[in-house]
Amino acid sequence: MKKSLVLLVVLFTTLAVASSACAFYGWDCYEMPKCKIVCKDQVLCKGAAKGTIGLCGPAMCDHGKITCPSISYSGSWITMLKCPAVKK
């Protein structure tokens, strides 16, 4: 028990000295290189759809034929990832 306590104190002392040395001298001399960010517009999702949907309700008379009202639709969409404008 006594050996592990002494080992623990030595470990914490070593970490304290190393961290205070790093904090004192700073990291000013270690400059990180400038990164060039490459951004391209990307299409995430693209599609189109069209069709007819019959509606529920009373039947309508159309020259002797019984038909139901319906709705026709058509449309297209595109979802894009746009890059922010570059400030010059």
Instruction: Summarize pLDDT for 26-49 with one digit per residue, the tens.
Output: 656 667 778 887 888 899 999 999
pLDDT number for residue 15? 80
What are the start-end ranges of the E strands in the chain? Answer: 42-54, 60-62, 65-67, 70-81
Alpha helices in the chain (DSSP H): 2-25
Structural domain includes residue 86? no
> Would you state the structure tokens that stand for residue 80, as one six-digit string?
């894009």
50 inside domain:
yes
Does this model's pTM top 0.85?
no
| Domain assignment of residue 53, yes or no | yes
Number of domains in the chain: 1
pLDDT at position 26: 62
88 within some domain: no
| Domain boundaries, position 72 | 2-81
Determine, yes or no, domain membership for 40: yes
Q: Looking at residue 75, what is its pLDDT?
A: 94
